[in-house]
């Protein structure tokens, strides 16, 4: 039987991965129910027959390009373990910049927040973990994504979040919110990156938008004005090359204090603005 160490040496077969060794460590931890520290402590531990054949299948699927998060069924976001599946986007570390920006901008007082296109519930649940006094609404148009976000909400036990289906604002009636956040689809339908890496296994409903990727952001910026309380905040994630266009969209729509924050790689990724008169 091959040992932990011998199985990790198979990383050389993952030629298309940016992090082959880490991928195998995560898959092995998932399979054995152990931590990465355990793998390093017990490199000579042999896998039994059933474990070895399960690991072989996982490695084959990873070599074929399937995202590690789909193979394990989970991904950590804002230190929260979230279930993931093919219904929606696998949460990305870059989106934590949106969470940070909202937390830094909004004081620790009671507030209502709407997360549009919640997917796994990543943004809504991360904010709920930091602001117990907020009332958070999380919506998605895909029923399977709504079910996934609700499952994550229940697993994490956040009572201040409600999840339901809505095509952007369609099911929100006359509700208004102090903060509206969204990481909507923003990739151009013709972007060649759609044929590379993890995104090949994610639904186009979570990824692409018309108008060079800007159509959904435009709709959100336009309609959010009717759903924000006086001086309310809109914060959206967008592509690294869309900052200028999104700032113009916000300004043309009447938002003020419009600014763009950068991700950990220094690229413009989050634009924020306020609508109406803001009383701090
Ligand atoms: C880029 S993913 C973001 C998922 C999650 N918020 C995150 O940051 O990981 C965009 C999400 O928007 C949802 N979506 C697409 N069109 C929508 C619409 N018309 N109304 C509501 N949600 C929509 C997709 O189903 C998907 O879950």
CA 230 vs CA 32, 137, 176, 177, 242: distances in Å: 52, 18, 9, 9, 27
- CB 89 near ligand 1, within 6 Å: yes
At 108 the pLDDT is 77
Give 272's Cβ-side CA count (13 Å radius): 19
| pLDDT at residue 279, rounded to an integer | 53
Residue 170 CA: nearest ligand 1 atom is 20
Give the residue, by CA position, lying nearest to ligand 1 atom 24. 206
- Contact between 234 and 250 under an 8 Å Cβ cutoff? The reply is yes
Report pLDDT digits (tens) over 55-83. 999 999 999 999 999 999 999 999 999 99
- Quote the CA–CA distance of 1 and 165 in Å, as a whole number: 49
Which stretches in the chain have pLDDT values below 50? none
Report how far ligand 1's centroid is from the alpha carbon of 140 (Å).
6
Best residue for ligand 1 mutational test, from 90, 100, 119, 122 (most atoms within 8 Å of Cβ): 119
Tell which residue, 70, 67, 65, 105, has the closest CA to residue 85.
70
Query: Which pLDDT belongs to residue 121?
Result: 98
Query: From ligand 1's centre to the CA of 31, what distance in Å?
Result: 30
């Amino acid at each position: 039987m091959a040992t932990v160490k011998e199985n990790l040496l198979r990383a050389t077969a993952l030629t298309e991965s940016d992090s082959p060794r880490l991928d195998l460590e995560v898959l092995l931890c998932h399979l054995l129910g152990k931590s990465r520290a355990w793998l390093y402590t017990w490199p000579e531990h042999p896998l039994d027959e059933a474990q070895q054949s399960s690991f072989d299948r996982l490695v084959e699927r990873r070599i074929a390009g399937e995202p590690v998060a789909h193979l394990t069924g989970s991904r950590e976001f804002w230190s929260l373990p979230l279930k993931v599946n093919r219904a929606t986007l696998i949460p990305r570390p870059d989106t934590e910049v949106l969470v940070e920006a909202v937390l830094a901008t909004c004081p620790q007082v009671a507030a209502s927040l709407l997360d549009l296109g919640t997917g796994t519930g990543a943004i809504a649940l991360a904010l709920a973990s930091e602001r117990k006094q907020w009332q958070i609404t999380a919506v998605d148009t895909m029923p399977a994504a709504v079910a996934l976000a609700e499952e994550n909400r229940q697993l994490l036990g956040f009572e201040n979040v409600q999840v339901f289906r809505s095509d952007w604002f369609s099911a929100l009636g006359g509700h208004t919110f102090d903060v509206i956040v969204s990481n909507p689809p923003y990739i151009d339908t013709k972007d060649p990156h759609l044929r590379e890496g993890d995104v090949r296994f994610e639904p186009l409903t979570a990824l692409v938008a018309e108008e060079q990727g800007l159509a959904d952001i435009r709709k959100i910026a336009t309609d959010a004005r009717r759903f924000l309380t006086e001086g309310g905040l809109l914060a959206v994630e967008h592509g690294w090359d869309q900052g200028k266009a999104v700032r113009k969209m916000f300004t043309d729509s009447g938002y003020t204090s419009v600014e763009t924050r950068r991700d950990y790689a220094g690229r413009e990724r989050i634009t924020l603005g306020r609508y109406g008169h803001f009383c701090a």
